Chain A
Amino acid sequence: MNTVSKIMVAVLTTFFVTSAFSQSDEPAIDSTAMVALEKMGEYLRTLKAFRVTVVTTNDTVLEDGQKIQYAGTADLLANAPSGLRIHTDNNRRERLYLYNGKKFTLWGQRLDYYATVDAPDTISKLADMLENKYGMDLPQIDLFRWGTPAVDKTAIIGAMDVGPAAINGTTCQHYVFRQDDIDWQIWIQKGDYPLPRKMVITSKTDDARPQHSAEYQWDLAPSFNDAAFTFNPPKGALRVVLENTLSTDDTNE
């Protein structure tokens, strides 16, 4: 083969090889998105006392594929590592989660029912116990897991920096992430306080692709006292059992 032909073969081979790579299905992971996520997590873990009010929407999928969206609020007061008070309300169920480093109480005021169990000494351990022993997710659990080893970094198979966006008047940077079961998006406040200001999670395990969204307003200097984290049963409140959804699954599978 003469030199020109050899060069042509080389060029064509390179072209086909690189085409093959660019046609591969593997999504790209933008390192700026991963770094921003790390910085946000690190910052969150420096907070000791904070209050965050969250406005949420959550999709339920009916058997025929129709989606119903419920709006809700969560008002969370934390005094890390062992004080937590979360009030949630989505117009269908209202709950108060209280934790003071010793006891965890779940109170349904409209039902007049509450459940109290012994609890470990940190919020992180409490979240693990509730998840592993009762099959229960603490609301807004991500706010306590970002920046800890509980985050599974290998779960992220795609990450992209979408660009700047204003959330409630504050300039944020918008990042999107892909995992196997979910795609999720986060808007991180720009500047000295890299707080999450909005998050959207799209569940891919159902074809209807239900979404959950949350917008956050932060108060980094809340005023409170220790009584905020201890439950005093009001008159008429009835003590019941904290449901263990794990054993429910087991008996029937």
Chain B
Amino acid sequence: MKRICSTFLSVSLLVFIVAEADSRGRGGGGHHERSHARSSVNSGHHEHRGNSYRNSGNRNVNINSNRNVNVDVNNRGYHHGCCYHDDYHPLAVAAAVTATAVVVGSIVNSLPPSCQTVMSNGFAYQQCGNTWYQPQISGSSTTYVVVNAP
């Protein structure tokens, strides 16, 4: 009886170890944020939903441009491709943005190269080639909305 018990235990342990190792190997996604700690008790914590959404890559139109812009930053080993929500936007070092037209209303985390600041009605816009962006600021990030020329 004792031998059966100890065998059973060893087998269970082995199964457990294998299972653990397997789950650890899985899901090695990379450096995008999936969530962050809530910073207040008494709030609707909307910002957290907003943030984790922003990094899920659901914006089909701009996925390519964002990925390309950040590759060089990854290689320089500083931002590691994560944590867009900072004041240090990755430099747009290469002409990585494709020539395809971007849809008005889509939102990007950083600007393509060669943009000019243009004021209209007291608000600043960024004109980058044929595309106009309106910067918007929140407590945790800065993003740019594609708009029609003001």
Interface residues of chain A, those whose CB is within 8 Å of chain B, are 56, 58-65, 68, 88, 92-95, 97, 106, 108, 110-111, 113-115, 131-132, 134-137, 139-142, 145-146, 150-152, 179, 181-182, 184, 199, 201-203, 205-206, 208, 210-212, 214, 238-246, 248-249, 251-252
Contact = CB atoms under 8 A, between A and B. Distances in A.
B37 A212 contact: yes
Contacts of A251: 105
B41 A142 contact: yes
B29 A61 contact: no
Interface in B1-33: 27-33
A63 B56 CA distance: 10
B47 A137 contact: yes
Contact of B139 (A65, A95, A114, A142): A95
Given A65-B27, A210-B35, A252-B53, A241 B43 contact: no
B142 interface: yes
B105 to A, nearest CB: 8
A179 B41 CA distance: 10
Per DSSP, are chain B's interface residues mostly helix, strand or loop, or mixed? loop
- Considering the complex of A and B, which 5 residue pairs feature the smallest CB-CB distances, nearest first? A63-B29, A245-B50, A92-B86, A135-B46, A238-B124
Interface string B96-129: 0000000001010000000001010011100000
B87 A210 contact: no
Nearest to A206: B35
A136 B32 CA distance: 22
16 contacts: A61-B35, A62-B82, A63-B30, A63-B33, A92-B83, A95-B139, A113-B142, A137-B40, A139-B139, A145-B42, A210-B35, A210-B36, A238-B135, A241-B134, A241-B145, A248-B50
Contacts of A199: 41
A245 B47 contact: yes
Contacts of B36: 58-61, 210
Interface string B59-77: 1000000000000000000
A230 B98 CA distance: 43
A241 B40 contact: no
B142 A137 contact: no
From A88, A92, A95, residue with most partner B Cβ within 10 Å: A92
A214 B86 CA distance: 20
What size tier do the contact residues of chain B reach? 35 or more
From A56, A93, A139, residue with most partner B Cβ within 10 Å: A93
Contacts of A208: 35
A16 to B, nearest CB: 30
A135 B51 CA distance: 11
Given A108-B87, A239-B124, A246-B46, A113 B137 contact: yes
A181 B43 CA distance: 12
Given A62-B29, A92-B85, A242-B136, A113 B35 contact: no
Contacts of A206: 34-35
A249 B50 CA distance: 6
B41 A201 contact: yes
